A and B are shown apart, each in its own frame.
Chain A
């Protein structure tokens, strides 16, 4: 049973436009959410996070939105750049020292 789902395996966006990556979760105990970015042959790199007490968190070009009632979060990248081309993983955890549960990832391609 997949508790964190990224239903789009891939996404292509033109440079300068907005990239929107989506993530759904099923476990209502999850209260902390993270996005990681992964380049080939490297480990995942932490990008941005959000706790369940917020519905938005922004860091430069990256914004994460959380809709708790829909159990949905999204990552917006504006403007998209070719260097953003990577696999993006959504991850979630429950309160306290519990393990992260990852989605399968979405491969973003930003086309110049």
Chain B
């Protein structure tokens, strides 16, 4: 069974630029999550989708971050404009049931 796919794996941008990340969940998984993991911290949920609807986006900085889940499958997360403090690993996860989430390899973002 293929795992969660993410791209790109690494991205370096300058502050105030925009960036987008892509995630393809495990086939059949209805729930998709985006997490931000800052160095030395555990992952923090940014947004959760159930099919193509948003379940929880309470911790998403909506002035600069946006996310969508096209047709309930793939998802993109965008940052515009980026700030230095957005440097982190962005993890996508999916789950079939609500308990166990399976993570992709992450996208490491560096904002200069």
Contacts and interface: CB of A to CB of B under 8 A. Distances in A.
Interface in A53-112: 89, 91, 93, 96-100, 102-105
Interface stretch (B13-21, B42-50, B62-70, B77-85): B42-50
Contacts, number: 55
B48 A43 contact: no
Interface of A: 4, 32, 34, 36, 41-46, 49, 89, 91, 93, 96-100, 102-105
Given A42-B105, A43-B105, A99-B56, 18 more contacts: A4-B42, A32-B99, A34-B99, A36-B103, A43-B104, A43-B106, A44-B91, A46-B102, A89-B43, A91-B42, A93-B98, A97-B31, A97-B50, A99-B45, A100-B45, A100-B101, A104-B41, A105-B42
In the A-B complex, the 3 residue pairs with the closest CB atoms: A102-B42, A43-B103, A99-B45
